[in-house]
Amino acid sequence: MAPFSLISEGIDLTNVQRIEVSYIRVAPYSHFTHTFFGTVPEPSGSALVAIGLSGLGCLLRRRTTL
Amino acid sequence: MRVCSGRSLRRSYAFFLVLAAVALGREQCQAITIDDFSVGPVTVSRTGSDPAEALQTGLDEHHVLGGQRGILVGEAGSETQTAVVNSAAGVFEFSTDDSFGYLDLLYGTDEKPLNIDLTADGSTAFVLYETDSDVRSAILNIYVDSSTGRGATRVTATSP
């Protein structure tokens, strides 16, 4: 995975002309298989915080029952 | 001490699991398909000193962004390097022999640019799914040409 935020600055991602995937110095006697190349949304920070708080709540509730 | 009922605890767990599934499920939701390797079967092999290349056109744009796929094999390195699009299986395979392998996959050309908004549908990252690999080392970069210039980033292939 490669977040867009790691791409060099100054690139207009809303108007992309070409995309190139470049494999360099693949080790001798290697083989690989790919099934998909595309884009994905990453989980939002607020959602991860909500998961964390919810999980913490579960742990605390469990502790009170013990 | 406040004591929770088993029912309340089960509800908490259920809420947590649903929330996690929804949030993390977004990551697996593919927003833009650049190539799912289900169309345009081809084998591109370098067997000798010269690189081998192929430019496929007229492909189904639902499966290959822009309907074109360029493959360049062996700009340097081993004299035996092979790239295969096995569309029946929906996979792309690459192998190299007794020296290093070099490979480029290209989408969009000067004559037929993609003109695409990569951030549409909330996309925030490239993803490259890998199902089988015995690569001990390699450098994998993605280059992006936009109306304002060229950028690059390192990428790591992941399991689906």
Higher pLDDT, B17 or B44: B44
- A40, A44, A49, A55: CA torsion to nearest 10: -40
Question: Which of A15, A21, A48, A53 has the most B C-beta neighbours within 10 Å, making it the best mutation to test the interface with B?
Answer: A21
Q: Is the pLDDT of residue B1 over 50?
A: no
Higher pLDDT, B109 or B5: B109
Higher pLDDT, B9 or A60: A60
Higher pLDDT, B8 or B140: B140
A60 touches chain B (CB under 8 A): no
| B27 in any annotated domain | no
Report CB contact under 8 Å: A1, B37: no
Question: Which of B26-35, B68-77, B120-129 has the least mean pLDDT?
Answer: B26-35
Q: Is the pLDDT of residue A10 over 80?
A: yes
| B135 in any annotated domain | yes
| B11 in any annotated domain | no
| B159 in any annotated domain | no
Distance CA B15, CA B10 (A): 9
Provide the pairing of β-strand B149-154 with B32-35: unpaired
8 Å CB contact between B101 and B81: yes
* pLDDT the model gives residue B12: 60
| B87 in any annotated domain | yes
* pLDDT the model gives residue B6: 60
What number is the ipTM of this complex?
A: 0.81
- C-alpha angle B127/A6/B140, rounded to 5°? 55
* pLDDT the model gives residue B133: 84
Average pLDDT across chain B, whole number: 86
* pLDDT the model gives residue B5: 57
* pLDDT the model gives residue B15: 56
Residues of B in contact with A15 (CB under 8 A): 115-117, 146-148
- A38, A44, A45, A49: CA torsion to nearest 10: -130
The parent domain of residue B65 ranges over 42-154
pLDDT band at B120 (very low <50, low <70, confident <90, very high): confident
Eight-state DSSP code of residue B90: T
- pLDDT per residue as tens digits for the range B131-153: 888 888 889 999 999 989 999 98
- pLDDT per residue as tens digits for the range B26-72: 445 668 999 999 999 999 999 999 999 999 999 999 999 999 999 99
E-only strand ranges, chain A:
2-3, 16-26, 31-40
Question: Which of A17, A49, A59 has the most B C-beta neighbours within 10 Å, making it the best mutation to test the interface with B?
Answer: A17
| B31 in any annotated domain | no
| B37 in any annotated domain | no
Eight-state DSSP code of residue A44: P
SS3 B61: coil
* pLDDT the model gives residue B7: 60
| B62 in any annotated domain | yes
- pLDDT per residue as tens digits for the range A14-50: 999 999 999 999 999 999 999 999 999 966 555 555 5
Structural domain total, chain B: 1
* pLDDT the model gives residue B27: 46
- Judged by CB atoms within 8 Å, which residues 13-42 of A form the interface with B? 13-42
